[in-house]
Amino acid sequence: MTAPSLFVFPHRHLLGIEGLSRPDIEGLLDLAEEAVEVSRQVEKKKSSLRGRTQINLFFENSTRTQASFELAGKRLGADVMNMSVANSSVKKGETLIDTAMTLNAMRPDIIIVRHHAAGAVHLLARKVDCSVVNAGDGAHEHPTQALLDALTIRRNKGRIEGLTVAICGDIAHSRVARSNIICLQQLGARVRLCAPPTLMPAGVEHYGVEVFTDMKRALEGADIVMMLRLQRERMNGSYVPSVQEYFHFYGLDREKLAYAKPDALVMHPGPMNRGVEIASDVADGAQSLIREQVEMGVAIRMAVLEALARRLPNG
């Protein structure tokens, strides 16, 4: 095992990839490599967050992300409390600041927040004294997803610089896409976006990405194909006519994947809609990194928690 990294993360919160420098991102990825090793041992415990309290505050249901943050915290020795307020009868927005103040009074060290509204995590971060991690806010950002994707790519391709990454699907409503665009570009990748025009956000070309509506062209020569989840409420006529039509033109199947490089790798942030944005044989095929992404998710969250904990008072 290599010597533990002495990386110092220069921010109190992790609210988004925007604003992070390349060394910030690479430092987190390096730290996560250590976490991967820890997670693969029988003894998975570290003590860097011992005595610390971590609250997972989820205004939106997410079994996977919440479990990932919970495991990450526990492996670092933190006391982890899960608060799921997604089903609270109180109007969601009204409780946000009150909830933040209440939790803050319990003196947590780190709060992990997911919220259905863009900017909600920023709002909350301004009201508390502890560190805040954005676990997804509306269609804005989902920084740990982008970091775990970068880690997965780097481990499999040995680099990110110079790779061509095609992000396909519901870009308009995707925080994963936004965080990934910024993260991958920061690390030197070429980013392509592909979506039906109804699911492509306005002005996205200003990110310096290539924009496609024809998936085969978007995948031509790509090193990485990153699929996005299509939410059920967008499937039936509002943004795309039907699941069938969407899958036909924008679902990743063997035929479309054949346009990418032969060694192209397939990713998906999960949970997948098999037969909607991705065919089962591709999702489970040899080129798929989807399960590895989940493992890297825990590692990257350990890295983020550790990096933020190093900056905590008496840390």
Partner 1 sequence: MTTTANRPVLLTNARLLDPVTGREQRGGVLVSEGVIRDFGSHLVAGSVTEAEEQDCSGALLVPGLVDLRAFIGEPGEEYRETLRSASHAAAAGGVTTVIAQPNTSPVIDDPAVVDFVLRRARDTSLVHIRVAAALTKGCRGQEMSEIGLLQAAGAVAVTDGDRPVTNAQVMRRALTYARVFDMPVIHHVEDPNLVGEGVMNEGEFATRLGLPGIPRAAETIMLERDMRLVQLTGGRYHAAMVSCRESLDVVRRAKQAGLPITAGVSINHLTLNEMDIGGYRTFLKLSPPLRGEEDRLAMVEAVAEGLIDVIVSDHNPQDVETKRLTFAECAPGAIGLETMLSAGLRLVEAGHISLPRLLEAMSEAPAKLVGLETGRMAKGAPADLIALDPDYPWVVEAAALKSRCKNTPFDEARLSGKVMMTMVAGRIVHSYR
Q: Rule CB under 8 A: which residues touch partner 1?
A: 18, 92-94, 96-97, 115, 117-120, 122-123, 137-141, 175, 178, 201-204, 206
In DSSP terms, which residues pair with 212 in a beta bridge? 194
Report in angstroms how near the CB of residue 15 gets to partner 1 at its nearest: 9
Neighbours of 313 (CB within 10 A): 7
Whether residue 302 contacts residue 76, with contact meaning beta carbons closer than 8 Å, is answered with yes
Report in angstroms how near the CB of residue 37 gets to partner 1 at its nearest: 34
Whether residue 315 contacts residue 9, with contact meaning beta carbons closer than 8 Å, is answered with no
Q: What's the residue count for the chain? A: 315
Report in angstroms how near the CB of residue 289 gets to partner 1 at its nearest: 25
Report in angstroms how near the CB of residue 42 gets to partner 1 at its nearest: 41
Pick from 124, 78, 109: nearest CA to 313: 109
Whether residue 35 contacts residue 2, with contact meaning beta carbons closer than 8 Å, is answered with no
Report in angstroms how near the CB of residue 92 gets to partner 1 at its nearest: 8
Give the whole-angstrom CA distance, residue 253 versus residue 259: 11
Which one, 44 or 92, has the nearer CB to partner 1? 92
Encoded tokens for 218:
């978007």
Report in angstroms how near the CB of residue 63 gets to partner 1 at its nearest: 23
Give the whole-angstrom CA distance, residue 143 versus residue 246: 27
Neighbours of 200 (CB within 10 A): 18
Report in angstroms how near the CB of residue 178 gets to partner 1 at its nearest: 6
Encoded tokens for 102:
């209440």
Which one, 118 or 294, has the nearer CB to partner 1? 118
Which one, 46 or 122, has the nearer CB to partner 1? 122
Residue 25 φ/ψ, nearest 5 degrees: -65, -45
Q: Sign of torsion, CA 63 71 19 124?
A: positive
Which one, 120 or 266, has the nearer CB to partner 1? 120
Residue 140 identity: H
Which one, 204 or 294, has the nearer CB to partner 1? 204
Which one, 75 or 173, has the nearer CB to partner 1? 173
Mode of pairing for the β-strands spanning 131-137 and 164-168: unpaired
Which one, 182 or 225, has the nearer CB to partner 1? 182
